[in-house]
Amino acid sequence: MSKRIPDFFLVGAPRCGTTSMYEYLKAHPQIFMPEKVKEPHYFAPDAESKTIRRYDDLDAYLALFAPAQDGQRIGEASTHYLASPHAARAIHDFNPQARILVMLRPPADMLYSLYLHRRQFGTEVNSTFEAALKAEATFPYRKFAHYGTQVGHYFEVFGREAVHVVVFDDLKADIGTTYRQILEFLDVDADFQPDFSPANESRSVRLPAVRHFIAHPPVWYRDFVKPAAQRLLSPQRWAKLKAGVDALSWGNAPRPPLNPETRRALQQEFLPEIEYLSDLLGRDLTHWCK
122-148 pLDDT per residue, tens: 888 898 999 999 998 789 999 999 999
Q: Helix (H) and strand (E) counts for the chain?
A: 13, 7
Residues 216-225 have a mean pLDDT of 66
224-283 pLDDT per residue, tens: 667 777 777 777 776 777 767 666 665 666 678 999 999 999 999 999 999 999 999 999
- Cβ neighbourhood burial of 58 (10 Å; 0-12, 13-18, 19+): exposed
Helix axes 208-215, 235-249, angle to 10 degrees: 140
Instruction: Note the pLDDT of residue 259.
Output: 97
- Cβ neighbourhood burial of 109 (10 Å; 0-12, 13-18, 19+): middle
Residue 219 has pLDDT above 90, yes or no: no
> At 1, is the pLDDT very low, low, confident or very high (cuts 50, 70, 90)?
very low
What is the CATH code for 8-106+141-200+268-289?
3.40.50.300
Residues 190-197 have a mean pLDDT of 92
> At 201, is the pLDDT very low, low, confident or very high (cuts 50, 70, 90)?
low
Q: pTM for the complete prediction?
A: 0.84
- Annotated domain spans of the chain: 8-106+141-200+268-289, 204-251
60-117 pLDDT per residue, tens: 999 999 999 999 999 999 999 999 999 999 999 999 999 999 999 999 999 999 999 8
Residue 211 has pLDDT above 70, yes or no: no
165-185 pLDDT per residue, tens: 999 999 999 999 999 999 999
What contacts 117, CB < 8 A, 6 or more positions away?
Answer: 14, 15, 200, 202
Residue 215 has pLDDT above 70, yes or no: no
Task: Tell me which of 82-86, 189-193, 216-220 is least confident.
Answer: 216-220
Q: Answer for the pair 83, 169: CB distance below 8 angstroms, yes or no.
A: no
Nearest to 141 by CA among 290, 6, 270: 270
Distance in angstroms (rounded) separating the CA atoms of residues 58 and 46? 16
2-37 pLDDT per residue, tens: 678 999 999 999 999 999 999 999 999 999 999 888
> At 48, is the pLDDT very low, low, confident or very high (cuts 50, 70, 90)?
low
- Cβ neighbourhood burial of 116 (10 Å; 0-12, 13-18, 19+): buried
Distance in angstroms (rounded) separating the CA atoms of residues 90 and 153? 12
Instruction: Note the pLDDT of residue 179.
Output: 97
**Can you spell out the DSSP letters for 110-121?**
HHHHHHHHHHHT
